[in-house]
């Protein structure tokens, strides 16, 4: 007799476990050394069974991209929601983003989020609709940021006379630049600079200082 069909909840659980295994491999070996064969071994299933859940390595990467933005969205949303004043919301937004992006277990996933799955790369493929849908959902983080910045500008019109949308994009670029600089270990390379080598001694402390500096710049109209 054929096996009974798995319930939707069971399928979701298995797919999550597969993605967790995929991220562990990527964290340990890097994305270039990731393969469906290694994933099947890690997930303790046959390659044929693995393909019942995900059609390819590319499919896995797209889902890791989506999951990363989903986690970041909820973290930022909850952090902002728990803050009471416009200034506190800015602090929560910035710190939560930096914390997520520089977390040791999220470094590779962050790189996947911002270096893979562009809609234009999938036009005409079987993944086009999925990537477009996930990209629209990913930009919910930008929407939250825009609301936070707009609220601050509305109560501080003297400090800021700038387009809140452009300012939001500028802040997101600053955040991404800081996270990427850290994740690519460029702060460590400052050791070889005569003027900046002190910032290579404790890179996480350097990130904290730059995070505080960025927050001050936003609050005081320095961007």
pLDDT of 3 over the 60 cut = no
77 and 168 within one domain: yes
63 and 34 within one domain: no
86 in Cβ contact with 157 (< 8 Å): no
CATH code for the domain of 182: 1.10.357.10
200 and 144 within one domain: yes
Q: Is the dihedral of CA 95, 60, 15, 25 positive or negative?
A: negative
The share of the chain scoring above pLDDT 90, in percent, equals 64
pTM (2 d.p.): 0.86
pLDDT for res 134? 86
CA angle 204, 197, 174 (to 5 degrees): 50
pLDDT of 158 over the 80 cut = no
86 and 3 within one domain: no
195 and 103 within one domain: yes
Give whichever of 4-8, 36-40, 113-117, 156-160 has the largest mean pLDDT.
36-40
pLDDT tens digits, residue range 113-139?
888 768 888 888 888 888 898 889 889
pLDDT of 111 over the 70 cut = yes
Q: Is the dihedral of CA 205, 216, 71, 64 positive or negative?
A: negative
pLDDT for res 105? 87
CATH code for the domain of 23: 1.10.10.60
Give whichever of 95-99, 137-141, 184-188 has the largest mean pLDDT.
95-99
Q: How many helices (H) and strands (E) does the chain have?
A: 11, 0
Helix (H) or strand (E) holding 220: none
Number of domains the chain is built from? 2
5 pLDDT band, cuts 50/70/90, is: low
Q: What gap in Å lies between CA 117 and CA 58, rounded to an integer?
A: 9
16 and 125 within one domain: no
Q: What gap in Å lies between CA 122 and CA 111, rounded to an integer?
A: 19
When mean pLDDT is compared across 11-15, 47-51, 87-91, 128-132, the lowest value belongs to 128-132
Give me the domain span that covers residue 29. 1-54
pLDDT for res 4? 54
State which of 15, 32, 54 marks the end of a domain: 54
Mean local confidence (pLDDT), 172-195: 92
pLDDT of 2 over the 60 cut = no
């Amino acid at each position: 007799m054929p096996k009974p069909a798995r319930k939707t909840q069971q399928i979701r659980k298995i797919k999550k476990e597969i993605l967790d295994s995929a991220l562990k491999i990527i964290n340990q070996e890097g994305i270039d050394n990731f393969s469906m064969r290694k994933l099947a071994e890690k997930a303790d299933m046959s390659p044929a069974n693995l393909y019942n859940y995900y059609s390819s390595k590319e499919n896995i990467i797209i889902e890791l991209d989506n999951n990363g933005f989903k986690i970041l969205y909820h973290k930022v949303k909850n952090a902002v929601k728990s803050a009471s004043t416009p200034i506190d919301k800015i602090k929560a937004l910035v710190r939560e983003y930096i914390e997520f992006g520089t977390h040791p277990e999220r470094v590779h996933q962050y790189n996947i989020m911002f270096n893979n799955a562009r809609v234009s790369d999938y036009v005409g493929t079987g993944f086009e609709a999925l990537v477009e849908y996930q990209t629209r959902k990913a930009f919910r983080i930008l929407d939250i940021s825009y609301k936070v910045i707009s609220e601050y500008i509305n109560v501080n019109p003297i400090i800021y006379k700038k387009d809140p949308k452009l300012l939001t994009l500028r802040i997101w670029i600053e955040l991404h630049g800081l996270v990427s600089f850290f994740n690519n270990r460029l702060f460590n390379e400052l050791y070889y600079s005569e003027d900046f080598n002190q910032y290579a001694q404790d890179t996480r402390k350097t990130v904290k200082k730059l995070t505080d500096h960025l927050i001050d710049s936003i609050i005081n109209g320095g961007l």
